[in-house]
Amino acid sequence: MSFKLNAYLPSKKQEVLINELRYKQYRDLVKSLHNTDKKETILQYNSILKDLCPDIAEYDITFEDKLSLLLTIRNYCVSPDLKLKCNLQDGSSYSFTLPVENLLNKVKSINKSSTIVTNGITIEYSSYKVRDEYVFLNNNKDTFVNLASIIDSIKIGKTVVIFRDLTLEARIKIIQELPLAVVKTVMENVEKINRLHDTELLLIKDPNTDNTILRFSCNITFEILQKLVEFLYTESLNNIYRTLYNVVKYLGFSAEYADNITPIELQVYWMYFMQDNAKQQEQNNAVRPSGGLNMPTSTPNSELGF
């Protein structure tokens, strides 16, 4: 039986239950990042998220919500630490480690949902929606596209239009018909909220010079979202395949079973195996100081590397 995790949707201020990430899904996520068609990558991530958390189908989730779900899964099912290797200006490299929980807490605190009432028009808006993610692939900075994505609903008198029900084109058409003064008010308020969120989500500094190497603000743009997904789910494909090979060959698990447990569980089993091997090695050494059991030389390291 698998656990259910609690994940938080910042834009809805709501918790949802999310299934554990199975090794097969993890492998698909990692492989997907190697795909040259980035639209496919986005679709793959969103499809796996829907499988893991069917509840999100009810909501019009935002970039922050998606990031919160991916961070939760990464934290509980893969590894609680995010390790990044940074290349410094002097040619050396620097390993930066951050608890995923830290990022998760910051993402959870992002609140961009607001309502504006002006000129008899009520506009509810929050943040960029995951359903529009692919639209921003080609560095699309069009103001109308941005607004079409962040607006949730518009109410005039008793008539309400819910933007999630409409195509991007229809949403843009509605925005273009709105009085400019109204749209300008929305834009000014969005900028105001963005200024409040211009705090560090992720900051990496050169340990030698204290110069900033990387800074992501809490304003999660398409670019920041993609980079963070990359940071969270990039893994050597060799490592991914080697893991499955090792657990089948040395732990005797069936490939199907290994595919259906979480990467972190595989890690635990592998740790037990390594501990047993170490004990066996010690015993063998005590009996016969030279030679002994050959450790599985194909093992990349004592941990599986996630």
What is the contact surface with other proteins in residues (CB under 8 A)? 119-121, 144, 154, 156-157, 159, 161, 165-166, 170, 173-181, 183-184
Distance in Å, CB of 169 to other proteins, minimum: 10
> Which residues contact residue 169 at a Cβ distance below 8 angstroms, ignoring those fewer than 6 apart?
none
**With left for phi above 0 and alpha for psi between -120 and 50, is residue 92 left, alpha or beta?**
beta
**Minimum CB distance to other proteins smaller for 177 or for 256:** 177
**Minimum CB distance to other proteins smaller for 176 or for 208:** 176
Distance in Å, CB of 153 to other proteins, minimum: 11
**Minimum CB distance to other proteins smaller for 4 or for 192:** 192
- Judge whether 70 and 229 are in contact, CB under 8 Å: yes
- Judge whether 23 and 266 are in contact, CB under 8 Å: yes
**Minimum CB distance to other proteins smaller for 188 or for 223:** 188
Distance in Å, CB of 183 to other proteins, minimum: 5
Distance in Å, CB of 57 to other proteins, minimum: 20
Distance in Å, CB of 147 to other proteins, minimum: 9
Terminal CA-CA length for the chain: 23
**Minimum CB distance to other proteins smaller for 30 or for 186:** 186
The residue among 219, 216, 62, 169 whose CA lies nearest residue 125 is 62
Radius of gyration for the chain, computed over Cα atoms and rounded to the nearest angstrom: 24
